Structure 1
Amino acid sequence: MPRRNGSDVKPSDLSADTAVAVVFFRPSAEQVARIVERFAGRMPVLVYDNGGIPPDALARLEAAQGVVRLGEGRNRGIAAALNALAEAAIAAGVSRLFLLDQDADTTVETARALGHALDRAAGAQPPPALVGPAPAPKPGHKAPVYPPRPGVPPRESLRPVEFLATSGSLVDLAAHAQIGPFRDDFFIDAVDLEWCFRAWARGWSCWMDPGTAIPHSVGRGTLRGRFLPVTMPDQPLFRMAVYVRNTAYGWRLPHVPLRWKVKQAAYLPLQIGLYWSRHRFSPRVLAHLLAALAQGLGGRLGRPADAPP
Structure 2
Amino acid sequence: MTDAAPDAGVRQPSAETILPTSPPPASACRPIAAVGITVFRPDAAQIAALRARVEAEPRLTIVFDNGGLPAEDAAHLTARGARVLSAGRNIGVGGALDAIARAAAEAGAAQLLLLDQDAAFRPEQVSGLEAALARLRTASPPPAVVGPRPDAAPGRKAPAYPRRPGLPDDGSLVPVEFLATSGSLVDLEAYARIGPFRSDFFIDGVDLEWCFRAWARGYGCWMETGTALPHRVGAGVIRSRLLGIEMPRQPLFRMAAYLRNSVYAWRLPHVPRRWRWRQAAYLPLQALLYWADAGYRPGVLAQLAGAVVDGLRGRLGPPRGLP
Q: Normalization by structure 2: what TM-score? A: 0.90
Is 1:155 aligned with 2:174? Answer: no
Instruction: Provide closer, same or farther for how the CA distance between residues 32 and 270 of structure 1 changes in structure 2, counting only shifts above 3 A.
Output: same
**Structure 2 spans left out of the alignment, 5+ residues:** 1-17
Query: How far is 1:33 from its partner?
Result: 2.1
SS at match of 1:99: strand
* CA-to-aligned-CA distance 1:127-167 (integer Å, 9 cap, x gap): 00010000123111111110100001111221000000000
SS at match of 1:185: helix
SS at match of 1:23: strand
Query: How far is 1:5 from its partner?
Result: 2.3
Is 1:269 aligned with 2:312? Answer: no
Is 1:288 aligned with 2:303? Answer: yes
Percent identity (aligned): 55
Report the equivalent of 2:243.
Answer: 228
Tell me the distance in 2 between the aligned counterparts of 1:152 and 1:7: 44
In the alignment, which of 315, 319, 323 is matched to residue 300 of structure 1?
315
Residue 253 of structure 2 contacts residue 320 of structure 2 at CA under 8 Å; is this kept in 1? no
Within-5 A mapping of 1:1-309 = 5=20, 9=24, 12=27, 15-40=30-55, 42-64=58-80, 66-308=81-323
Residue 151 of structure 2 contacts residue 158 of structure 2 at CA under 8 Å; is this kept in 1? yes
Greater relative CO (CA pairs within 8 A, separation 6+): 2
**Structure 1 spans left out of the alignment, 5+ residues:** none
Tell me the distance in 1 between the aligned counterparts of 2:110 and 2:175: 22
Q: Normalization by structure 1: what TM-score? A: 0.94
SS at match of 1:231: strand
Tell me the C-alpha RMSD between the 2 structures. 1.8
Range with bigger deviation, 40-49 or 269-278? 40-49
Kindly tell me the number of residue pairs found equivalent between the two proteins: 305
What one-letter code is carried by the residue in structure 2 that aligns with 1:306? G
| Deviant stretches of 4+, over 4 Å | none
What one-letter code is carried by the residue in structure 2 that aligns with 1:58? A
